[in-house]
Structure 1
Amino acid sequence: MNDDELHFVDNFTESGFVFAPFDSAEKSILFPLNRALFISEELVNKEKIIEKKPFSVDDSSKKKHVQIIEKAIHEIKTTDLQKVVISREELVKISYFDVLEIYKQLLFTYKNAFVYVWFHPKVGLWFGASPETLLIIEDEAFKTMSLAGTQVYNNTEKPVWKSKELEEQQLVTNFIKNQLKDSTTNLIIDKTETIRAGNLLHLRTKVSGMLKESSTLEQLIRALHPTPAVCGLPRKIAKDFIDTNESYNRSFYTGFLGELNLQNATSTLKKTQLFVNLRCMKVQDDVASVFVGGGITKDSNAENEWEETVSKAKTMKQVL
């Protein structure tokens, strides 16, 4: 953009690049298409060998996160809450910082993810590498996915998934199916598969279909965001638990971002591609805020959930 003015989405009929927060009640930021400058560059595929740096997390952070998870498990077992995603913010001191170098390393580390660097002088600098599509829509055809369950990649693409991860994944898939049934037709739910993102594996189920004539992009976004993969079920109860118990503001973490109503030069159709803002960090001065979380169900183990967040944070921190 050629100015520092903040622009916001009104009803998702606009064209440009959207950066939306986790809280759907807050405004989504827009880089309008008619104010954007497009620059392209071919990146040389030279992956730098990343030195495995030792990172420590203080015991108080672990204790606090484990306590919240234990409280969430209790709520799930005693109330209508079925699942809730608990996250945390980890602060990392940066000694040397190069925007382009970090972006390149994210590209090479997360080859199957949507990798971005985003900056606005009134908001800040964000990096991310998301393996999760919120929504892709072209004309009346759309695609989305449910993504849940995590384990560390150990040189096998055919891992054994436990009942906890399988149930968590099914909850997300069922939510998407129920949310879309009134606004779509020809809904197709693919077979669940394992995908790799950096040093982690996830369960993914692709979902596709057609929009009804009466449906709008805004309706579809409101129906899906935030999904149980980043919030929980039932959505309102989970969101209330997060707002009450997480000790920080997620801001744009677990929000969504991407191209909004852009037209390809070779087509008359407008296309929207939105991704959930996972595996991300905000950089301010010499400190990076790395955001990580995990889905909690009745079968969760607090210590294991803590270790999952450590694994998720590790790759993001290594590119710094």
Structure 2
Amino acid sequence: MSGFYQKAEEQLKNRLPFVVYSKPGETVAVGIFQKDASLHFTTNFKEEGFVFAPFSGGQFVLLPNEISDVLTEDYTRIAIENSNKSSEFDDTAKANFERLVQNGVDAICKGDFKKVVLSRKEAVSLEKPSPFALFKKLLSAYPTAFKYCFFHPETGMWLGATPEQLLKASGDRIKTVALAGTQVYHEGEIKWENKEQEEQEFVTEFILDGLEDYTAEKNSSKPYTFRAGNIVHIKTDIEARLHNKQDLGKIIKMLHPTPAVCGLPKEASREFILENEGYDREYYSGFLGELNRDFAKDMQHNSDLFVNLRCMKLQDATANLFIGCGITKDSVPEKEFFETVNKSLTLKNILGE
């Protein structure tokens, strides 16, 4: 076992907070190992460290740089066999989620909001629940995603491979993305329905409008198809220059939660989620990542934050998977349920389920 993973094993054994992660397209893993078990938060996003934020609420957990050890390790991707599991599902879970989706569609048709993102949780039993073995699989299976394993005794153990950037900042330059729509990847041309294109337009407009007061020189790409593991999305890249670098925290709070994980208008859709989903999302659809420091390059004034999608929480010998989809007036409940089934395969293939 390398010193990198030995350090991580020791942290976990001593129940000390840590995160190990790797950025999209890179082959270096970074580990941030907090030296005590205290719980820290950021409120103004001016600290240096690694932030782990929930979907709802203002308690953004922080592993502060000044009380942490940082290690890095290069790795080589290995071939990961895709288990190609059949789309098995629980009939009760299917009925419950389809009822939830129909309630969302009805609320949209009444004019309560334009879009809402609804989700469910699925428990999978594990024979050998080793978080670091799972993390190593994520590193090879999803090179274009942000892969991570995060632990704090107050939050529990979380792993994921998320395709969605919340915000990337370097000095006064920022980058973000609008991501929506989902299909199973297949060879040949990918075609998108009007519902999915409309969903993408909602997300893009929300971000551009929100950046208006804080930035100049805004640029956005044309929408394009982006592959994340066994599924594809519609993606738009957005760049801008900050008027004031001190406004970074305001932009983070403006973006989170994005329409891609909440809905539009934000407050009405978030209220619907909290009242109707029937479970606590916790850190699913929150955000996580480097705050004000690129740890691999040891550079200040660089933030790299991602939306916490395609994630799971490990509890004893159970992996709780969190999966959702965007709902508009044209959504078909059964189709949306099977979208969540397809998304769940991202992690089930890693679990061997």
Indicate the TM-score class for this superposition, using the shorter chain for normalisation: over 0.9
Give me the whole-angstrom Cα distance separating, in 1, the residues matched to 2:90 and 2:62: 37
Change (3 A) 1:268 1:283: closer
From 133, 151, 154, give the equivalent of 1:122: 154
Q: Kindly provide the CA deviation profile for residues 225-274 of structure 1, in whole angstroms up to 9, marking residues without a partner as x.
A: 11100000010110010011001000000000000011579787510110
Matches within 5 A, 1:61-210: 61-156=93-188, 158-210=189-241
- Structure 2 stretches of 5 or more lacking a match? 1-33
- Structure 1 stretches of 5 or more lacking a match? none
Does residue 62 of structure 2 align to residue 30 of structure 1? Answer: yes
**Higher deviation after alignment, 103-112 or 261-270:** 261-270
**Alpha-carbon offset, residue 189 of structure 1:** 1.0
Which one-letter code corresponds to 1:220 in the other structure? I
Give me the whole-angstrom Cα distance separating, in 2, the residues matched to 1:38 and 1:148: 34
**Alpha-carbon offset, residue 215 of structure 1:** 5.2
Give me the whole-angstrom Cα distance separating, in 1, the residues matched to 2:76 and 2:296: 26
Q: Counterpart of 1:277?
A: 308
Describe the SS at the equivalent of 1:64: helix
Aligned identity (percent) is 43
**Alpha-carbon offset, residue 56 of structure 1:** 3.6
- Which fold has the larger relative contact order, with Cα–Cα distance below 8 Å and residues 6 or more apart in sequence? 1
Does residue 290 of structure 2 align to residue 290 of structure 1? Answer: no
Which one-letter code corresponds to 1:309 in the other structure? T
Describe the SS at the equivalent of 2:217: strand
**Alpha-carbon offset, residue 53 of structure 1:** 4.7
Give me the whole-angstrom Cα distance separating, in 1, the residues matched to 2:168 and 2:44: 17
Give me the whole-angstrom Cα distance separating, in 2, the residues matched to 1:53 and 1:305: 19
Q: Kindly provide the CA deviation profile for residues 85-119 of structure 1, in whole angstroms up to 9, marking residues without a partner as x.
A: 00000000111122222112112221111111111
Describe the SS at the equivalent of 2:302: strand
TM-score (norm 2): 0.87
Change (3 A) 1:106 1:266: closer
Kindly tell me the number of residue pairs found equivalent between the two proteins.
Answer: 318
Q: Counterpart of 2:49?
A: 16
Q: Counterpart of 2:268?
A: 237
TM-score (norm 1): 0.95
Q: Is the Cα–Cα contact under 8 Å of residues 288 and 308 in structure 2 kept in the other structure?
A: yes
Give me the whole-angstrom Cα distance separating, in 2, the residues matched to 1:54 and 1:160: 24
Describe the SS at the equivalent of 1:41: strand
Q: Kindly provide the CA deviation profile for residues 119-138 of structure 1, in whole angstroms up to 9, marking residues without a partner as x.
A: 11222110011111100111
Give me the whole-angstrom Cα distance separating, in 2, the residues matched to 1:149 and 1:33: 36
Change (3 A) 1:263 1:195: closer
Give me the whole-angstrom Cα distance separating, in 1, the residues matched to 2:145 and 2:80: 18
RMSD: 1.6
**Alpha-carbon offset, residue 217 of structure 1:** 1.2
Q: Kindly provide the CA deviation profile for residues 120-168 of structure 1, in whole angstroms up to 9, marking residues without a partner as x.
A: 1222110011111100111111000100000000123x30111010000
From 33, 39, 43, give the equivalent of 1:6: 39
